[in-house]
Amino acid sequence: MTFDLNRKRVWVAGHRGMVGGATVRRLKSEGCEVITAGRETVDLKRQAEVEAFLRDARPDAIIMAAAKVGGILANDTRPAEFLYDNIMIEANIIAAAHDNDVQKFLFLGSSCIYPKFASQPISEDSLLTGPLEPTNEWYAIAKIAGIKLAQAYRKQYGRDYISAMPTNLYGPGDNFDLRSSHVMPAIIRKAHEAKIQGAKNITVWGTGQPRREFLHADDCADALVFLLKNYSGDEHVNVGSGEDITILELTQLVCDVVEFRGEIIHDLTKPDGTPRKLMDANKLRSMGWAPAIALRNGIEETYSWFKENSPEAQTV
Ligand code: GDP
């Protein structure tokens, strides 16, 4: 172990998001003190607020789950927000972490920041080897800058600042808003609404042929804590399930879980995005970590959560 969490103060930035929330839950069994701060306490886009917060909170470690995130359409139509917000958030937090002598810092990238046509499965060293996918290049540029910033503080100041690269995530607490969500919550919601309303079909975006890899947010949180404790290296580490399926197969699986038996229709005016982004997760596997939640079980759990907790499920 390179970093013992026992009795440490750990700030989970972005604790209200899906990954941040899962990380807070996962840290409860680590004997550390978890620090959180909502938007009303600190606006992460404002440098002075982040500096003041960290001076006061004095964490020993930070897991940076705070980010402006969204699905393919949100990325494509709100490029300024995805680039500006993410650059500001990560620059403010990393610099203030160094200034306040934070010992360990874990940054989160995303599989969508690899080149559009990276060879599959995508290994860590594919980063910056080719052009990006145009629908999310704004987010990608910001996240690549964050990985580089963590590396720069390691190189210049010897900081133990590391990065994880999670694949497409899903789970309880996800965003189910159809204009800004990722595909998994969108399909769960669409199938649920179609079933309740007795509709004959649901519409998915694009051809259904792109392949995506999915990992449950609780598995991701477990991997993040594992890396925080055990990894201290310059290169980011892929966090994935090791398996991918087509969007059509995913839709069929979700419809089966939801018990919606209608037809699947394709809206070809919407983009497909990257054809495939299966990550090579061997680096993390060889360190001794593996995911625990099978895709179907994870979808069942997420659907139950959606029905019980999401305001969208109550308004059908
Ligand atoms: P991406 O992984 O960055 O492309 O982000 P998404 O999760 O938003 O989209 C993944 C794939 O699912 C893309 O090919 C989308 O076109 C497709 N997709 C199909 N239906 C939907 C939908 O209702 N919402 C979203 N966000 N994507 C959809």
Residues forming beta bridges with residue 165, ordered by sequence position? 238
Which pLDDT score, from 0 to 100, does residue 219 have? 98
- Sheet with 104-108, edge to edge strand ranges: 33-35, 9-13, 61-64, 104-108, 160-166, 237-239
Ligand 1 binding pocket includes 254 (Cβ within 6 Å): no
- Check if 139 is active-site: yes
Regions of the chain short of the pLDDT cut 50: none
Q: How far is CA 142 from the centre of its chain?
A: 14
Q: Is 103 helix (H, G, I), strand (E, B) or coil?
A: coil
Catalytic residue among 114, 139, 231, 303: 139
Contact yes or no for 162/138 (Cβ under 8 A): no
- Cα separation of 27 and 12, whole Å? 10
Ligand 1, atom 8, lies closest to the CA of 71
CA 206 to centroid of ligand 1, rounded, Å: 8
Instruction: Quickly tell me which residue has 């109550």 as its tokens.
Output: 314
- The confidence score (pLDDT) of residue 81 equals 96
In this prediction, residue 311 carries a pLDDT of 80
CA dihedral 8, 11, 12, 13 (to 10 degrees): -160
The CA distance from 44 to 61, in Å, is 17
In this prediction, residue 315 carries a pLDDT of 65
**Encoded tokens for 172:** 């309880």
Give me the pLDDT at residue 226, please: 98
| pLDDT of amino acid 127 | 98
Q: Is the CB of 168 under 6 A from ligand 1?
A: yes
Q: What is the pLDDT of residue 214?
A: 98
pLDDT tens string 117-162: 999 999 999 999 999 999 889 999 999 999 999 999 999 999 999 9
Q: Which H, E and C letters describe 151-163, residue by residue?
A: HHHHHHHCCEEEE
Ligand 1 atom index nearest CA of 210: 14
